Chains A and B, each alone.
Chain A
Amino acid sequence: MNWKHFFTSSIGRKFTMGLSGIFLILFLIVHAGINSCIFLNDHGETFNQVARFMSHNWIMRFLEIGLFATLVLHIIQGLTLWYLNKKARPVDYAFNQPSKNSKWYSRSMGILGTLLLLFIVMHLNHFYVGTKIALYGGDKPHNLYEEMQEVFSNQWVVVLYLVGVIALFWHLYHGFQSAFHTLGINHKKYTPIINCAGLTYAVIICILFALMPIAMFLHWLN
């Protein structure tokens, strides 16, 4: 079995999805942690410092490339699996009751993932592009905190961010435990811990992310 056979097999593709998913899960911890600096309520001083550190550090820049590569891999693999799975049932059931045997969010990873992809495009446009322009061509240091305040002053943007966070919650809630199952872990002692950790993780991450636009929009932070 060569590498190509392995990574284009059904389980090889699942393996890629699981591993890249876990990497993205770890990234979100860093992302949510750094962004939570805005809650220190020091007019973004700490937050801007950390943000500057992250964008002016070659280790972080290197990891950033890895992050984008992982994200693209996760998306491409996800779309490929979605396409192959559609092909596996060319004629659909006239009457089906999937709710009798599985949870809606476990069946909706593709659609949740697509929503997240649209969200990420908007999100990068809001914060990533501006930061990069300032980094390579700006004449004054970029104030990411002020940019956040500006973006989140629009109620519709806040609503879109909250929709994104809700999609993220269900995607993570299924994805977290699913990744471990795909890597071959199903154990009487560990699986309940993984399930519980996945739910806790999804709740904490999503509450933190949801609070950011809400707090800015409602001027809870100065």
Chain B
Amino acid sequence: MQHYHMNLTLKVWRQKNTQSKGSLETYQVKNISSEMSFLEMFDVLNEQLIVEGKEPIAFDHDCREGICGMCSMYINGQAHGPWQQNTTCQLHMRAFKDGDTIVVEPWRSKAFPVVKDLVVDRSSFDRIIQAGGYISVNTGNAVDANAIPIDKKDADHAFMAAACIGCGACVATCKNGSAMLFVGAKVSQLALLPQGEPERESRVLNMVAQMDKEGFGNCTNTYACEAECPKGISVANIARLNSEYIKAGLSNEEN
């Protein structure tokens, strides 16, 4: 594809802190290369703001390789922007044309309070993992990888669920602010494997209880999460979460 340069109008959400009320601010950026990533374009804008003596825009980023799940922008009405199965850091400016206006907002969810500008606090995801998204193993030497035979099909499905990077795009894009794709993936990756078996029941019950406590919404099967997930996590994981929860919830004898 032809390399080109563009001038853009950006409307970016600026918010001082969690308590304050934010608003969209308009900025102009010039001479942006089509080969830049979206975050590099933001770096250019921030340099410009610093030179002008203004507060640079706070945004989350880490690996910039599309694997860490840190970047989290809602670009032109879509989580991680217009490209499919793609994170914001891997969105490149060739997705836009000269003269475009781009609206950038933070993830919007009660469970993801805005820290500043485009940065949201996703520690609610960590607390869901702490509630059961692990397996308990005795310490000692690592067990040989192939000591327990696992069906290739199950291994593949577990691996596909484990591809979730926990970025929160599913919550951001869901009209209900539901975290069920994330929790579905985290429950599935362990429920499918023999190592996850001992805590299978308590895991799903505790993780869903924590998810509800954090204030996430309830899935209505619009499947927007799957469409926007940068890792293409399937909604089949939500169905598996439902069946795991219903089975565990109805058979569990504890009060």
Contacts and interface: CB of A to CB of B under 8 A. Distances in A.
Nearest to B247: A184
Interface stretch (B48-56, B125-133, B143-151, B214-222): B214-222
Contacts, number: 148
Contacts of B211: 10
Nearest to B21: A91
- Rank and list the top 10 A-B pairs by shortest CB-CB distance, nearest first: A184-B243, A97-B77, A88-B217, A186-B239, A88-B177, A101-B227, A85-B176, A102-B224, A102-B222, A85-B217
B103 A101 contact: no
Interface stretch (A156-164, A174-182, A210-218): A174-182
Interface of B: 11, 13, 24, 74, 76-78, 82, 103, 105, 108-111, 173, 175-178, 180, 205, 208-209, 211-212, 215-224, 227-228, 234-236, 238-246, 248-250, 252, 254-255
Interface of A: 1-2, 5-6, 9-15, 81, 84-85, 87-98, 100-103, 106-107, 109, 174, 177-178, 181-186
14 contacts: A1-B254, A9-B208, A9-B212, A10-B217, A12-B249, A13-B218, A14-B242, A85-B178, A88-B110, A88-B111, A90-B110, A98-B77, A102-B222, A102-B227
B205 A89 contact: no
Contact of A10 (B205, B212, B239): B212
B220 A85 contact: yes
A92 B201 CA distance: 35
Contacts of A15: 242, 246
A103 B222 contact: yes
Given A85-B176, A97-B77, A100-B77, A185 B220 contact: no
A183 B227 contact: no
Contacts of B248: 1
A1 B239 contact: no
B243 A97 contact: no
B222 A87 contact: no
B77 A184 contact: no
Contacts of B103: 94-95
B243 A93 contact: no
Contacts of B11: 94-95
B17 to A, nearest CB: 14
A105 to B, nearest CB: 9
A181 B239 contact: yes
Nearest to A99: B77
Contacts of A88: 109-111, 176-178, 215-218
A106 B223 contact: yes
A93 B177 contact: no
Nearest to A15: B246
Nearest to B180: A10
Contacts of B205: 1
Contacts of A12: 249
A184 B240 contact: yes
Given A6-B250, A184-B243, A106 B221 contact: yes
A85 B242 contact: no
A5 B245 CA distance: 12
Nearest to A96: B77
A184 B108 contact: no
A184 B184 CA distance: 11
A174 B176 contact: no
A9 B221 contact: no
B240 A85 contact: no
B175 A107 contact: yes
Contacts of A90: 110
A15 B239 CA distance: 11
Contacts of A185: 239, 243
